[in-house]
Amino acid sequence: MNKSTPSVVIVDDHRIFRSGVRAELGEMVEVLGEAETVEEAVRAVNELEPDVVLLDVHMPGGGGVEVIGQVSKSRPQQRFLALSVSDDPKDVIAIVRAGARGYVTKTITGEELADAVARVRDDDAVFSPRLAGFVLDAFAGEIPADEVDPELDQLTPREREVLRLLARGYLYKEIALRLNISAKTVEAHVSSVLRKLQLSNRHELSRWAVTRRLVD
Min dist CB 163 to other proteins, Å, is: 9
Q: Which spans of this chain sit near other proteins (rule: CB under 8 A)? A: 87-88, 129-130, 132-133, 136-137, 140-141, 164, 167-170, 208, 213, 216
Sign of CA dihedral 97, 102, 108, 113: negative
User: How far is residue 133's CA from residue 144's CA, in Å, rounded to a whole number?
Assistant: 23
Min dist CB 140 to other proteins, Å, is: 6
Close Cβ partners of 48 (under 8 Å, ≥ 6 residues apart): 7, 9, 32, 33
Min dist CB 12 to other proteins, Å, is: 18
User: How far is residue 12's CA from residue 37's CA, in Å, rounded to a whole number?
Assistant: 7
Nearer to other proteins, 60 or 141 (CB): 141
Residues 42/1, Cβ–Cβ less than 8 Å = no
Min dist CB 193 to other proteins, Å, is: 14
Neighbour-count burial of 180, counting CB atoms closer than 10 A to its CB (0-12 exposed, 13-18 middle, 19+ buried) = exposed
The dihedrals phi and psi of 79, each to the nearest 5 degrees, come to -100, 140
User: How far is residue 177's CA from residue 163's CA, in Å, rounded to a whole number?
Assistant: 15
Min dist CB 26 to other proteins, Å, is: 21
Nearer to other proteins, 44 or 205 (CB): 205
Nearer to other proteins, 91 or 187 (CB): 91
DSSP 27: T
Nearer to other proteins, 8 or 132 (CB): 132
Residues 136/160, Cβ–Cβ less than 8 Å = yes
Nearer to other proteins, 48 or 94 (CB): 94
- Which residues does residue 8 pair with via DSSP β-bridges, in sequence order? 31, 52
Nearer to other proteins, 43 or 160 (CB): 160
Min dist CB 141 to other proteins, Å, is: 6
